[in-house]
Amino acid sequence: MFYNISKKFSRMSIDSIQNYNFRIKLLVFLLTIIYVIGVLFLLKRDMIFAFWLLTIILVLFLIYYVLIASAITKGVYMILTDDLSPVRYLKALDKISSYKQGGLGSNSYNLKIFYNLNRAIGLIAKGDFLEALDCLKNIDTSRFNKYQKKRYYSDYLLLKFTALLLSEQSYYLQDFTSKIEKLRINFDDTTLGEQQLKMIEALDSITSKKEVNYYFEAAEAKSRYSSMMNNFFKAKNQLLLLDAEGAKKTFQQIANENPELFYVREAKKYLEELENQ
């Protein structure tokens, strides 16, 4: 059910998403004011049953609000991951972000992290790697609390590495892998950042070192976008294996998608080169 609601939001126009997001926040604000006034009125008249009824109604609505707000956020993310529309995704992200819009709680560092990480994802998908790196510079990882370190740090490192790699800038692989290893030790969790670590090593092998790496052959795809990315690097790995026909077939699975996406444009370039060989 949650997925279906999120999917409906992903198919809305950006203005409709923004309006829905605004209306539900306004409704929460108005209900909170009504609740405060109602509580003062009811307690003065010793109407305890009505007080508890009003409290239950407010709590139920707040739960509903959290679910809808989560569905809106997920729906916006699905504009990229399922609909493969990075430009619309970035516009929608700006419209619903309390951090970007300066809404209630916009000074929250958690909102700043969330916004900049998600914006970097969209910019990398679009091929704007330098702008993605600028987004990541807005995040001071030394300020991370324990929750933020565990929740966001490995994703931050993967995004930064990907942006550096695809923009053909220099990097030091050990600087990324050692930080994830240290994260595992600090939280005593060997699974923490495992996927990000394997992906960083595979990206480095295939793209920089030109060495065969089979990570993307079996990597789990959680969305159309992740499937596209897996296929792109799988095709590059097939080229390293001198399997030109296999690479061509894999690139063809990508090439007909939205040209706003970096991987689509690159897949087309590789196909042209393979056709001319």
pLDDT of residue 104: 60
CA distance 48 to 84: 53
CA distance 221 to 207: 20
- C-alpha distances out from residue 174 to 152, 157, 171, 201, 276, Å: 19, 12, 9, 10, 38
3-class SS of residue 144: coil
Report yes or no on whether pTM surpasses 0.85.
Answer: yes
pLDDT of residue 4: 82
pLDDT of residue 175: 94
Q: How many residues does the chain have?
A: 277
Q: How many helices (H) and strands (E) does the chain have?
A: 14, 0
205, amino acid identity: S
pLDDT of residue 26: 85
- C-alpha distances out from residue 33 to 22, 36, 38, 133, 272, Å: 17, 5, 8, 42, 63
CA distance 235 to 247: 4
3-class SS of residue 164: helix
pLDDT in tens, the chain (277 residues): 777 888 888 888 888 888 888 888 888 888 888 888 877 777 777 777 777 887 888 888 888 888 888 899 999 999 999 999 999 999 999 998 888 777 665 578 888 999 999 999 999 999 999 999 999 999 999 999 999 999 999 999 999 999 999 999 999 999 999 999 999 888 888 888 999 999 999 999 999 999 999 999 988 888 999 999 999 999 999 999 999 999 999 999 999 999 999 999 999 999 998 888 7
The two three-digit tokens of residue 88, written as one number: 């619309």
CA distance 273 to 275: 5
Q: b vs e for 68-77, b when ≥16 Cβ sit within 10 Å of the residue's Cβ?
A: ebebbbbbbb
